[in-house]
Structure 1
Amino acid sequence: MSDRHVPRKGRGATSNLQGRFERDERTRVDDGWQPLVGHLDPDEAPPRIETSVSIERARSILSHNQSPDIPFGVSLNPYRGCEHGCVYCFARPTHAYLELSPGLDFETKLFAKANAAEVLRETLAKPSYRCEAIALGVNTDAYQPIERELRITRDVLQVLHDCDHPVGLITKSSLIERDIDLLAPMAAKNLVVAAVTITTLDADLARKLEPRAATPSRRLRTIRTLADAGIPVGVSVAPMIPFVTDDHMEQILEAAREAGATYASYIVLRLPNELNAVFQDWLMAHFPDRAQRVMNRVRDLHGGQDYKADFATRMRGTGIWADLLRQRFYKAADRLGFSYHRYNERVLDTSQFKPPARAVKPRKPVDERQGSLF
């Protein structure tokens, strides 16, 4: 097994492959001083990689999206990179823009937008601002582990709560329960909707796929807690990975419905840019016996390619296998009484929005020694 295919405890990616924008190319060579990971003693674990967090000051905080297959137009991401380490995360390639690896760097070198709430408040106070539901934490999880201490998501929600601004959230973390005191009153005004992503009910598989996210059973409890608090909550069965998680669809829907979820959605695995190599390395590390079979089915779903970035098909796929997944989902959802809209497609009320007071910048003191021209 090569050093690119060695699992690391608590991490999703098995390698730190080079990002597409890096100028320097690196190749690992065994010079005899320190063995490569793949050449370590079988009983010796790969070296531990600690998580680092860099604080950055954002100049703008809202991102605007025009993709017709994405159910929101405006989003806010308090963090870049995600410690959950989900190996299938479509956001991994964004770390390449920082000249970092979409592999291990994505889940170990994180960036926190410390002034997110401040910039959001300034944005909402502008006379030109037009209220539209904001999707919070869709690129990387707004409730990833570092949020416990940094509380940036909490501060952002406080601003939205105070302004009666609608928001949609999606997460794999139970930490969202901390903010029920803000979310429940917003839900009573039809200002919030939430979704919890559940990829599998198998805890061992989840530990390999999404090592630092909440366990599947804990996520089901989170759905129940949110529902009991009167917060509309759904389940995102995503992604459907052929021969890995696709046989779990009906069980996830049943468990989520029992827990109180009222709407559901699903997405097939998509592998843009460097994510393709990250995922295939993971497959070779954990499922070498079926890696080729999985990728063949992925190609069946994307028109013979590893990934096809077509708005009409990238989320659900095409062909016979995509049709089977679609039929299974809708039959199960109909039987269980689910609605189908995704987490931010629910119509939230924008009419209650109250802009925050605009901060008045203090005027510079006048030097009384300076005479007037008039």
Structure 2
Amino acid sequence: MTTSGGESATNAAAPLPWDDAPDPWDEAEGRWLSDPPSRRPRVWRERAKSIVTRNDSPDIPFRFGANAYRGCAHACAYCYARPTHEYLDLDPDGDFEHELVVKENAAELLSLELTSSRFDGEVLCLSGATDPYQPLEASLRLTRRMLEVCLARGRAVLLFTKAALVQRDADVLARLAAGPGVQVYLSIPFADDATARALEPAAPSPSARFRAMRALTEAGVPTGLSISPVVPGLNDRQLDDLLARTAAAGGTRAFASLLRLPGPVRAIFERRLRERLPSAADRVLAALAASGADRTGRAAFGERMAGSGVRWELVRSMFETFARRHGVIADERPEPALPPVRRTRQGRLFD
């Protein structure tokens, strides 16, 4: 592994192998993880030089993000972050879930960097390029420590996760909710376990994620549903079920975005779709085309997560109708729940 190419080349020295990395399934928190994979990931340690990254894309609802991990053990076939592994000279296909990098000094760096006034009034996203609650977090607690830093520094947080493990940190998240602000979106794009296992093979089941949503809402943490991606021909008929279960679990918001297939992700997704859901593959690919999804991936602002055409407009209409039916706020993109005094300062980010 190297750090040649891209932003990673200047952000840290080459990661070192961590041969005796802890086994998250040996932890008490292992009860919230999916079954251990047959092939365990190889773990690398990294001393990062910086942790907060800036994003100036107008279609992303946050300007600053921080990720404690590179790669993700959940192995989602459609993950838009897969190409980031190419910066490490690794394969965005199997290596993305089997070669995981830990930024072991993430919390310390975050504490230093958040002293800057440039973050005043800003939301920090802790999950822009990986899942912050993937299995390693059960042992390493890097995300929890980063949340504690945000609480101490008075920084609002936006979180997206597929992991039931997030409920472990309900105490810290509740304190953030009562202070600077936090919004947690559970990413649950599929209502049935079979489809989820096919395309998200190492993530917890949809039912486990909804239970985590309920646990967080009962602790006073604002939660919502991320239906990302919408895969026309596969899960667009599940919108009613997903939104009903969100309301039952106490979630108050939801957003949906069309499947993105940037760079090599297109071939990875299509291959895994044909391998694991062969009877649905042709239907799904045709529906994607009819929804305006460019299967090579689009980079233009405002187009990367938006569909077009009659089929996509129907999906959007169904999403909004079902959200109203179940009393869930339908957002066009993620919205953090912040105290009123801070929401005034944040408004410009989400208009």
TM over 0.5, shorter chain: yes
Cα displacement (A) at 1:302: 2.7
Aligned to 2:347: none
- Give, in whole Å, the separation in 2 of the partners of 1:218 and 1:194: 15
Q: How far does residue 49 in structure 1 lie from its aligned partner after superposition?
A: 3.4
* Cα distance in 1 between the residues matched to 2:326 and 2:83: 36
- How far 1:337 sits from its partner (Å)? 1.7
Q: TM-score, normalised by structure 2?
A: 0.82
1:163 matched to 2:153: yes
CA contact (8 A) 1:83 1:108 kept: yes
Aligned equivalent of 2:14: none
Q: Contact between 2:260 and 2:293, CA under 8 Å: does it hold in 1?
A: no
2:279 aligned with 1:289? yes
2:68 matched residue in structure 1:
78
- Alpha-carbon spacing, 1:138–1:344, altered in 2? closer, same or farther (3 Å): farther
Moved more, 78-87 or 299-308: 299-308
Displacement, 1:350? 8.1
What is the DSSP-based 3-state SS (H/G/I as helix, E as strand, rest coil) of the residue aligned with 1:217? helix
Change over 3 Å in CA distance of 1:257–1:215 after alignment to 2: same
Give 1:29-48 correspondences, 5 Å limit. Answer: none
Measured in 1, the distance between the counterparts of 2:293 and 2:175 equals 46
Any residues of structure 2 matched to 1:1-374 within 5 Å, and which?
49-126=39-116, 129-302=119-292, 306-341=296-331, 342-347=333-338
Report the aligned-residue RMSD.
2.2
Q: In 2, Cα distance between the equivalents of 1:278 and 1:264?
A: 27
Q: Secondary structure at the match of 2:102?
A: strand
Q: Which amino acid aligns with 2:330?
A: Y
Which region of structure 1 is more displaced relative to structure 2, 303-312 or 104-113? Answer: 303-312
Gapped regions of structure 2 (runs ≥ 5): 7-36, 344-351
Q: What is the match of residue 29 of structure 2? A: none
Instruction: Determine which structure has the larger helix proportion and give its number.
Output: 2
CA deviations on 1:199-236 (whole Å, 9 max, x unpaired) are 11211221111111111111111111111111110011
Q: Distance in 1 between matches of 2:281 and 2:117?
A: 54
CA deviations over 1:281-321 (Å, ceiling 9, x no partner): 10220233332332222222236654333322321311111
**C-alpha contact 1:299 1:306 (8 A) present in aligned 2:** no
Q: Distance in 2 between matches of 1:314 and 1:123?
A: 30
Q: Deviation of residue 268 (structure 1)?
A: 1.1
Contact 2:258 2:293 in 1 (8 A): no
Q: Larger deviation: 183-192 or 244-253?
A: 183-192
Could you tell me the percent identity over the aligned residues? 39
Q: SS where residue 283 of structure 1 aligns?
A: helix
Larger RCO, structures 1/2 (Cα 8 Å, 6+ apart): 1
Which secondary structure state, in structure 2, belongs to the residue aligned with residue 294 of structure 1? Answer: helix
Question: 1:204 & 1:152 partners in 2: Cα distance?
Answer: 31
What is the number of equivalent residue pairs in this alignment? 308
CA contact (8 A) 1:257 1:336 kept: yes
Deviation at 1:154, TM superposition (A): 1.1
Q: Over residues 111-134 of structure 1, what are the superposed CA-to-partner deviations in whole Å (9 max), with x where a residue is unaligned?
A: 011001111111122466534110
Moved more, 204-213 or 335-344: 335-344
